[in-house]
Amino acid sequence: MNTILVTGGAGYVGSVLIPSLIDKDYNVKCLDRFFFGKDFFSKNNFPNNLELIQDDIRWFDPKILDDVDVVLDLAALSNDPVGDLAPEKTFEINHKGRTRVAKLSKEHGVKQYVLASSASIYGQQKDIATENSTVHPLTSYSKANNKAEIDNLPLNDDSFTVTALRFSSIYGISPRMRFDTAVNCMVLDLFKNKKINVNGKENRRPFIFTKDVVKAYITIINASKEKIGGQIFNVGSNEQNVTMDELANKIVDSINEPCEISINDTNDHRSYFASFKKIEDILGFTTDYSIKDGAVEIYNALKTNQVSDDIKTKTVEWYKYLLKNPESAKDLMINNTLL
């Protein structure tokens, strides 16, 4: 039975990914600061096969890597507004921290390392971006992802397989819910206000459902070294390359409730579509879920009170709150540091 270390494993993606890994009989170590809590991972839900480690990717004791086979490196200040709140911390964690994880993994005999990168590093593209396109990272978050790719991919060698996954913008329900990503946020707008705010109607973006992100990770973990060593893959599907305006209309059509769409200007200049031909051709990876599936899932979860839009679901608001209220952040401090 392989042991997988998931950094940032208690986040939006990690808390959907880890239960699937445990279902597949992997032993999992979850290394996380637990900025968004860890209640979901209590012993009641996960009696076996899961070890929780509250630590920071910048400082953790590398001994925890000794019995690890695969590292899935997700820990990050995870979006553009957070990156702009604390740009130097974003580089420290998302770039230097994850390069530290990759280098230590190699030194400690880990066989495979997978970097969670983002398609947002394409920034602005006229043509559909392939993995060979020149990237135009526009924000601290995207620039840090780019630097992590540049430093980590060359560590690939015969005994250490390194891959970077450039994920589309992710949607769907998670135990650590986020209402600060486009689809989730629009469904919440529809549910609460019967009005979706579209910021930058022509902005182009690729999307992917959480369960398809899990499918991509399982595909990569099981792929042969020859196919994935030193490689970058865009992760998503060509059908889910849509403009923000098309996205809002798709969501309204999926939910079938009366809803106004309000178009606003934006200073967000990110606009890119990505090609997903490489991951399909080389790994046979295709997505199973659509934006409609995700929108309906989120809407139903809101309707039945399975999720709420509390402050923790707005990533940047939550980090700002913790920084302003050190009392609430007491248990989250490590080395006297919050971020």
Residues making contact with ligand NAD (CB under 6 A): 7-8, 10-14, 32-36, 56-58, 74-78, 93, 97, 116, 118, 167, 169-170, 176, 178, 181, 315
Distance in angstroms (rounded) separating the CA atoms of residues 294 and 57: 31
**Nearest to ligand NAD of 121, 248 (CB atom):** 121
Q: What angle do CA 242, 248, 249 make, to 5 degrees?
A: 90
CB of 256 to ligand NAD, least distance (A): 25
Compare residues 58 and 225 and give the one whose CB is closer to ligand NAD. Answer: 58
Min separation Cβ 161 and ligand NAD, Å: 19
The DSSP code for 86 is: S
Residue nearer to ligand NAD on the CB measure, 181 or 300: 181
CB nearer to ligand NAD: pick between 262 and 287: 287
Min separation Cβ 174 and ligand NAD, Å: 8
What pairs with residue 263 in β-bridges?
Answer: 198
Q: How far is the CB of 304 from ligand NAD (least distance, A)?
A: 23
| Residue 339 beta carbon to ligand NAD: minimum distance, rounded to whole angstroms | 8
User: In the bound complex, what is the minimum distance in angstroms from residue 194's beta carbon to ligand NAD?
Assistant: 25
CB-based closest residue to ligand NAD: 11
Q: Burial code of 177-195, b = ≥16 C-beta within 10 A, e = fewer?
A: bbbbbbbbbbbbbbbeeee
Closer residue to ligand NAD (CB): 167 or 191: 167
Q: Which is nearer to ligand NAD, 225 or 332 (CB)?
A: 332
Structure tokens at 128: 């559909």
Q: Which of 34/299 has CB closer to ligand NAD?
A: 34
User: In terms of Cα–Cα distance, which of 242, 205, 234 is closest to 80?
Assistant: 205
Q: How far is CA 305 from CA 299, 300, 308, 309, 337, in A?
A: 10, 8, 7, 10, 35
Alpha helices (H) along the chain: 14-23, 80-85, 87-90, 98-107, 140-152, 182-193, 210-222, 225-228, 244-255, 277-283, 291-303, 315-324
Q: What is the DSSP string of 15-39?
A: HHHHHHHHHTT-EEEEEE--TT--G
Q: Work out how close the CB of 3 gets to ligand NAD at its nearest, in angstroms, rounded to a whole number.
A: 18
Cβ proximity to ligand NAD: between 234 and 254 the closer is 234
Q: Which is nearer to ligand NAD, 86 or 283 (CB)?
A: 86
**In the complex, least distance from residue 134 CB atom to ligand NAD, rounded to whole angstroms:** 19
Q: What is the rounded distance in angstroms from the CA atom of residue 287 to the CA atom of residue 209?
A: 8
* Shortest Cβ 259–ligand NAD spacing (Å): 23
User: CA nearest 120: which of 151, 70, 80?
Assistant: 80
CB-count exposure of residue 73 (10 Å: 0-12, 13-18, 19+): buried
Distance CA 73, CA 153 (A): 13
Q: 232: helix, coil or strand?
A: strand
